[in-house]
Structure 1
């Protein structure tokens, strides 16, 4: 938001009392965040820049950016409910690997299918954790006491998060790419508790 500096660019900022930390007008960014140009400047996934300007670092940097406060809160809540449980069960290193590699996988699929506009967010990485949870559930199916409740809960979380893909700067291709990456990584990395 410091880089965005809405206050100096226009007089129609949301919460103008925040000065340079004011949010872009809601008609431009309904998620309470910066402008698209600021996101692009900070490292959003822009296929044109990745392909033609050789800025492949954007495939990773976009994972750490968010379109606004609401987008960040949604991702943090998902991480709180999913990530903490997985990290406690399988350890920081395993879950960190699934998270980052799935985020990259989500960015790759997004870059293949989204040819115009920008994309930001950790949703691909979060979907990777969901994919890892599904592969862990499949692998350890026999140890779950209430198998169908666990599967139904996981499917509900996936459906709700896919619905978030209709918001600006968030795309379901990143979700699907992250989910598939996490699902396949899960069979190798998240298959049993750490020794």
Structure 2
């Protein structure tokens, strides 16, 4: 192989060491997503203000993330298993507090079907499958949004610049939706969940893939490893707050790893390394498809009820 053939690889390696190996200069998708998510949080707060008289839920329970009540989140579009499939322990006729309720025990009651809104269930079983997707765009409160948008404007934006907008969309939404699929299988069935955290964990996973694949070429790789570890720990800690879900975080991390292996541009100096990378990509795609199929099937055929309606 002559010098001319080697030069592009050497150029990539040098750019990687400088931290400037990017496909595009601006993170357009991140900007759009941030605008949409901010607008939706404003809608959530207005919705809660109309229902309870204040944008932040204070009664019957305080939302520490400075956001709407859980009932409001459910009506707006949170992942909530009783809205998505029939669960014997939480039938659609079960009554619980409406979004307007401020008393404990509740005095304003709605059935599950009324709370799920969006046309109800049309006389059949709950079937709002789109709640695997909608929570990616919603947040449990102002604090939740600010934390997530900080990650989105830094780590996620860098990932978009490195993989390009199309690759970023694939990583972001594959991770975000799968996080909700995993949460739907294993999280407490009576708790709604919202947030882009699963998708953001997917982009954090991309940084891990990048670090492991290009350890030799990274500038101060141990420092980057320490930073990624701290970010991962903080994200898991946030998952214990109301309205969030660590299963969604872990699911996003898992699918983020697989989709990143599949699409992240990797430096391959030799044919052997290129063959190994290709094999890893094919395996990652197959595993991602299998995980989606198995867990979606399990959600609809199994009984995820591990808690009671709140």
TM-score for the superposition, normalised by structure 1 = 0.87
Instruction: Give the RMSD, CA atoms, in angstroms.
Output: 1.6
Counterpart CA distance in 2 for 1:4 and 1:121 is 17
Does the Cα contact within 8 Å between 1:66 and 1:72 map onto a contact in 2? Answer: yes
Does the Cα contact within 8 Å between 1:140 and 1:191 map onto a contact in 2? Answer: no
**Deviation readout 1:128-171 (Å, 9 max, x if unpaired):** 11111111221222211312111111111101111111110101
Gaps of at least 5 residues in structure 1 are: 14-21
Counterpart CA distance in 1 for 2:161 and 2:135 is 26
Does the Cα contact within 8 Å between 2:132 and 2:180 map onto a contact in 1? Answer: yes
Partner of 2:214: 140
Counterpart CA distance in 1 for 2:81 and 2:265 is 34
Does the Cα contact within 8 Å between 1:63 and 1:120 map onto a contact in 2? Answer: yes
- Does structure 1 residue 151 correspond to structure 2 residue 184? no
Q: The residue matched to 1:118 in structure 2 has which SS?
A: coil
Matching of residues 24-173 of structure 1 within 5 Å: 24-25=57-58, 27-52=61-86, 53-114=126-187, 115-173=189-247
The CA deviation at 1:191 is 3.4
The CA deviation at 1:4 is 2.1
Partner of 2:52: 9
Corresponding pairs, count:
182
The CA deviation at 1:181 is 0.4
The CA deviation at 1:78 is 1.0
Counterpart CA distance in 2 for 1:186 and 1:33 is 32
Counterpart CA distance in 1 for 2:133 and 2:257 is 19
Gaps of at least 5 residues in structure 2 are: 1-44, 87-125, 268-310
Does the Cα contact within 8 Å between 1:103 and 1:125 map onto a contact in 2? Answer: yes
Q: The residue matched to 1:31 in structure 2 has which SS?
A: coil
Q: Which has the higher helix share?
A: 1
Does the Cα contact within 8 Å between 1:139 and 1:187 map onto a contact in 2? Answer: no
TM-score for the superposition, normalised by structure 2 = 0.56
Counterpart CA distance in 1 for 2:52 and 2:210 is 49
Partner of 2:56: 23
Counterpart CA distance in 1 for 2:56 and 2:253 is 31
The CA deviation at 1:189 is 1.0
Single out whichever of 28-37 and 119-128 deviates more from structure 2: 28-37
